[in-house]
Chain A
Amino acid sequence: MSLRSKSYALFKKDFSSELRTRYAVNSLAMFIIVAISVILFSVGNEKISESLTGGLFWVVIFFTAMSGLSRAFVSEEERGTSLTLQLIASPSTVFTGKLLFNLILVFCMNTVIAILYSALFEAFVMKNFVLFLTSFILGNIGLAAASTTIAAIISKAGAKGTLYPVLSFPILLPLILTSVQLTLFAIDGTSFEESKFELAIVVSYDVIMLTASYMLFDFIWKD
C-alpha cells in the first residue's frame, strides 16, 4: 500500500472507533455548549462590542481544541496499541493519519462554534465573509498541525491532561493572535489587500509547523 492509502486506513480506523465510542464528539459538543453558555451568562443583557466577540470566538476554539485533540495519541497509549502501530506503520504514515483525523475534528467543531456564535451574538456579523473563511480555514490547519504534534509529545509524558494546554498555548499564540486580528478585520470589512501581512503570517506559520512536525515526529514516536 502507498503512504496515502496506509494513512487513510489509519484514519478510517480512528474514525470507526470514534463512531463506536463517540468520546471526542460528545465531549467536544458538550464543551462547546458549556463554554458558550458561560460567556452568555457573564454577558447577560449587555451588548458586547465587535472586537470582544472576535476574541471570545477564538477563546472558545482554543479551549475546545484543548479538551478534544489530545485524544489522538493518548488513546493509543492508554489502550496499549501504540507498540503495534509502531511495528506495522512508518512514523509519517501515523502522523498523516492522525493529522487527517484531527483536521476533520477541528473543522467540524469550529464550524459548529461559528454557526452558534453568529446565531447567539448580534455583533458577530461578517462584513467580509471571504476573508473570514480564508482565515478560518488557514487557522484550523495550523491549529490541527500544532496540536497533533503536542498531543504526540504529551502521550509519552507523565501528567497528560494538565500539560496539554500549557504546552500548546505558547506554540499556538502567534496563530491565535493573528487569527483574532483577521477575524476583527473580517467583522470590520477590511479588504484582502490591507490584511495581506496577517494572511502571510498565518500561511507561513502553517507551512513551517507542518514541515517541522513531519521532521520531528520520528523522534517523538520511536522510543
Chain B
Amino acid sequence: MVWKIFLFLLLSFVSVAGIGFPIVEKPSAWYEFPFIPGLEENAKIIFFHVPTAWLTLIAFLMSTIYSFKYLRKKNLDDDAKSYAAAQLGIIFCILATVTGAVWAKFAWGSYWSWDPRQTSIFALLLIYGAWFALRSSIESEEKRATLSSVYSMIAFITVPFFIFIMPRIMKGLHPGSADDTNAGPVIDFKMNSNMQLIFFLSMIGFTILYFWMWKVGYKSIILRDKINKQLIRG
C-alpha cells in the first residue's frame, strides 16, 4: 500500500514538474529548464515519450521471456504472464507512436515521415497485432500457448534489427542516426541536471507503474481461467 502512495506522488510530481517548469535561456533556479535550440518548449514531451518507448521494449522482452519459460516448463501461468505483458506492450507501443507523431509534427513538420525509428515502432505494432491475431485463431489452450510462444520468440529475433541496427545505419531525424554528428540531447546527456533528474524519475515511475499493471493483468487472466474451468465442471 505504501509503495502505491509513493508511486502516486512520484508520477504526480513528474507530471507537474514535466509540464509546469518553465524553459528559460539561462536557468538559475532549480525549477527552470534550459533552452535547447530546435526543441524549445517541445523538449518537455521527452518526459512522457521516451518512457513509453522504453516500456514497449521492456513489455515485449518480458513477454518473450515468459514465452521461453512456458516452452520449458509448460506451465499455463507463464503463458498468462506473457499475454498480460504483450497487452501492456501494445498499449505503450500505441502511446509511444502517438506521442512521437505529435512531437514530430512540431519538431520536424509532419506527423509521419518514415524515420527509421518510426518504421521500427510501426513494425512492432505489426508484430504484436499479428501475435494477437494468431492467438485468437486457436481454440485449444495448450496449443495456443505453444504456438504463440514460438511465434513471439521468432518475432523477437527481428526486434534488435529494428531497435538497435536500422536506426543507427540509416539516415533519419531522431538523435543518434547515421547522419547525426552530435548524438543528441538524450544520448549525450546534454540535458541539465534538473531535467535529467525528472527524466530518470519519470523512467522509474513509469517502470513501477508497468510492473503494477502487469501484476494486476496476469492475475486477472489466471483468475478468469480458473472461474471458467469451474463453470465448465459445474
Is the pairing of A and B real?
A: yes
Shortest distance between the CB of B17 and any CB in chain A (Å): 38
When distances are taken between beta carbons in the complex, the residues of chain A under 8 Å from B154 are: 146, 149-150, 171, 209, 212-213, 216
A152 to chain B: closest residue by CB: B150
A89 CB–B CB distance under 8 Å: no
Query: B161 contacts A157, CB within 8 Å?
Result: no
Residues in A113-166 with C-beta less than 8 Å from chain B: 146, 149-150, 153, 156-159, 163, 166
Query: B158 contacts A153, CB within 8 Å?
Result: no
- Chain A interface size band reads 20 to 34
Query: A163 contacts B150, CB within 8 Å?
Result: no
B137 CB–A CB distance under 8 Å: yes
A223 to chain B: closest residue by CB: B143
Stretch of B23-31, B122-130, B193-201, B209-217 with 4 or more beta carbons under 8 angstroms from chain A = B122-130
B35 CB–A CB distance under 8 Å: no
Query: B134 contacts A167, CB within 8 Å?
Result: yes
Query: B158 contacts A174, CB within 8 Å?
Result: yes
Shortest distance between the CB of B145 and any CB in chain A (Å): 10
Main secondary structure of the interface of A (DSSP, over half): helix
Cα–Cα distance between A209 and B162 once the two chains are bound (Å): 15
User: Which residue of B130, B147, B155 is within 8 Å of A220 (Cβ)?
Assistant: B147
A219 CB–B CB distance under 8 Å: yes
Shortest distance between the CB of B198 and any CB in chain A (Å): 35
Cα–Cα distance between A96 and B111 once the two chains are bound (Å): 45
B71 CB–A CB distance under 8 Å: yes
- Chain B interface size band reads 20 to 34
Query: A170 contacts B127, CB within 8 Å?
Result: yes
Cα–Cα distance between A219 and B68 once the two chains are bound (Å): 11
User: Which residue of A156, A171, A216 is within 8 Å of B158 (Cβ)?
Assistant: A171
Query: B158 contacts A159, CB within 8 Å?
Result: no
When distances are taken between beta carbons in the complex, the residues of chain A under 8 Å from B133 are: 163, 166-167
When distances are taken between beta carbons in the complex, the residues of chain B under 8 Å from A208 are: 157
Cα–Cα distance between A52 and B133 once the two chains are bound (Å): 31
When distances are taken between beta carbons in the complex, the residues of chain A under 8 Å from B65 are: none
When distances are taken between beta carbons in the complex, the residues of chain B under 8 Å from A219 are: 71, 146, 149-150
Query: B153 contacts A216, CB within 8 Å?
Result: yes
When distances are taken between beta carbons in the complex, the residues of chain B under 8 Å from A15 are: none
Residues in A162-188 with C-beta less than 8 Å from chain B: 163, 166-167, 169-171, 173-174, 177
When distances are taken between beta carbons in the complex, the residues of chain A under 8 Å from B155 are: 170-171
Cα–Cα distance between A208 and B166 once the two chains are bound (Å): 16
When distances are taken between beta carbons in the complex, the residues of chain A under 8 Å from B13 are: none
Cα–Cα distance between A61 and B212 once the two chains are bound (Å): 45
When distances are taken between beta carbons in the complex, the residues of chain A under 8 Å from B130 are: 163, 166-167, 169-170
Given A153-B134, A156-B143, A163-B137: A173 in contact with B150 (beta carbons within 8 A): no
When distances are taken between beta carbons in the complex, the residues of chain A under 8 Å from B129 are: 166
Query: B158 contacts A212, CB within 8 Å?
Result: no
A201 CB–B CB distance under 8 Å: yes
Chain A residues with CB under 8 Å of chain B are 146, 149-150, 153, 156-159, 163, 166-167, 169-171, 173-174, 177, 197, 201, 205, 208-209, 212-213, 216, 219-220, 223
Chain B residues with CB under 8 Å of chain A are 71, 119, 123, 126-127, 129-130, 133-134, 137-139, 143, 146-147, 149-151, 153-155, 157-158, 161-162, 165-166, 169
In the assembled complex, 11 residue pairs joining A and B whose CB atoms fall closer than 8 Å, in A order, are: A146-B154, A156-B147, A157-B134, A157-B147, A167-B130, A170-B126, A171-B154, A171-B155, A173-B123, A173-B126, A219-B71
The 5 nearest A-B residue pairs measured at CB: A174-B161, A170-B127, A158-B137, A170-B126, A159-B137
